[in-house]
Structure 1
Amino acid sequence: MWKDTDVLLVIDVQNDFCPGGRLAVPGGNEVVPLINRLAKSFRHVVLTQDWHPAEHKSFASRHPGKSAFETTMMPYGPQTLWPDHCIQDTPGAALHADLHIPHAELILRKGFREEIDSYSAFFENDHKTPTGLGGYLRERGFEKVVCVGLAFDFCVRFSAEDARMLGFDTEVIEAACRAIDLQGSADQARKSFADRGIVLA
């Protein structure tokens, strides 16, 4: 079914995004068995890992008087403030222990710049600063990006939108994602995919 020019992009399946984590996505751990099975049918897999310094500016704790899930303005635009999560070299930042994709060819860390958040696997939240993933996939001759992981309405959504914008055929397998769903953000993601020609499977 999947071609050698297809790549599975497994986004942020990390302890802090699973039940018991600092920014738990409801049912986040439920995607792990499905992603493991799905990955076996892909020759090429890339993993991403949210990887924040402890003083990251997207953390609500860095903004006196603000609470998690409020929005603030950053130099690059609106930014949702999050609980401290996925701090570099902590158990919460580790990939889920049951995620088993030994043939994954690349682990891309994102969100490591203190001043700017990074939902997408392709660009920081200024939509200008590249992670290098687009160039990596192009140089290797990939044509289609299939997105799964956490969270459907944030890092999966932004990664899929950017993959499409960069010219890749793009598909999101919703059963292998879970959403945070802040103020209808899951439905907003679905609408965005339809508008952009991103296949929602």
Structure 2
Amino acid sequence: MKMDIGTGDALIIVDVQNDFLPGGSLPVPAGDEVIPNLNRYIAAFLFRELPIFATRDWHPPDHCSFHQQGGPWPAHCIAGTQGAAFPANLEIPCDTHIISKATSREKDAYSGFSETELDAMLKSAGISRVFIGGLATDHCVLSTVRDALNQGYDIFVLKDAVRGLDADATSAALEEMAHLGAKLIDFETIVPA
């Protein structure tokens, strides 16, 4: 299947932050491998002057998901820290729409749509097709895809630009996304004109 991108399409980069990369406090195995591929997608969307969104965990230091608060994760992506920053080699344009999530101490949020303006921003931009890549496939990517499908978007998961925390859970997440109606594609599928 070959396709083109154009009006009505947007790219969403999910949580590609330093703490989720090798050396970070919650590293996704080979998470850094998504960056060159995401940069190719970014270039293709920029070439067509299409909008780019990037979600990020933006936790308070005492977030409920952290071990210290009884949660499942080590402290990560604390707002304003280097761990929460996008990596320097991810070529995010200056006009990228940044969506901060899980900003409340009391509530965790895996999806970029959870208590954010993402849906309203996409709808106001006339977006109907969303291309999603990032970290981690088995958590935040999956949750974002589920919510995007529930909101009625046509979803394309960039299978060459996602990585998960657990191999088995990642395979199951990809199967679930496809079962729900998302299309799994890679860069060779997109033909920028």
1:193 aligns with 177
Contact 2:157 2:182 (C-alpha < 8 Å) held by counterparts: yes
Alignment check: 8 A CA contact 1:52 1:85 kept: yes
Match for residue 67 of structure 2 among 60, 64, 69: 60
Q: 1:170 offset after TM fit, Å? A: 0.5
Sequence identity (%): 40
| Corresponding residue number in structure 1 for 2:190 | none
Q: Which of 26, 39, 43 is the matching residue for 1:40?
A: 43
Say if 2:108 is the partner of 1:117. Answer: yes
Question: Does the CA-based 8 Å contact 2:137-2:174 persist in structure 1?
Answer: no
Structure 1's 179 and 104: CA in aligned 2 closer, same or farther, altered over 3 A? Answer: farther
Q: Give yes or no for the alignment of 1:90 onto 2:90.
A: no
- For residue 172 of structure 1, report the CA deviation from its aligned partner: 0.5
Using the alignment, how far apart are the partners of 1:191 and 1:100 within structure 2? Answer: 29
TM-score (norm 1): 0.85
Partner of 2:140: 155
Q: CA RMSD in A?
A: 1.3
CA contact 1:47–1:104 (8 Å) conserved in 2: no
2-structure distance, mates of 1:197, 1:150: 20
Flag structure 1 segments of 5+ consecutive residues without an equivalent: 64-79, 124-129
Is 1:131 matched up with 2:116?
Answer: yes
Asked whether the equivalents of residues 5 and 142 of structure 1 are also in contact (C-alpha less than 8 Å), the reply is yes
**Runs (5+) with no aligned partner, structure 2:** 186-193
- TM-score, length-normalised on structure 2? 0.88
Separation of aligned partners in 1, 2:99 and 2:34: 19
Q: For 1:49, which of 36, 42, 56 is the aligned residue?
A: 56
The answer to whether 1:179 aligns with 2:169 is no
Aligned partners of 1:191 and 1:102: how far apart in 2? 31
Q: Spell out, residue by residue over 1:182-201, the C-alpha distance to the aligned partner (whole angstroms, 9 max, x if none).
A: 7x321221221122111111
Q: Is the 8 A contact 2:132 2:156 kept in 1?
A: yes
- Tell me if 1:22 matches 2:22: no
SS in 2 for 1:40: helix
* Rounded Cα–Cα distance in structure 2 between residues aligned with 1:10 and 1:105: 10
Aligned residues: 178
Whichever structure has more helix as a proportion of its residues is 2
After TM superposition, give the deviation of residue 103 of structure 1 in Å: 5.2
Deviations 1:65-107 (A, max 9, x none): xxxxxxxxxxxxxxx6101000111110010111112154300
Compare 42-51 and 95-104 and name the one that shifted more: 95-104
Q: Deviations along 1:133-184, whole A, 9 cap, x unmatched?
A: 11110111000111001111111111011101100000101110111017x3
SS of corresponding position for 1:195: helix
- For residue 120 of structure 1, report the CA deviation from its aligned partner: 0.4
* Secondary structure of 2:53 counterpart: strand
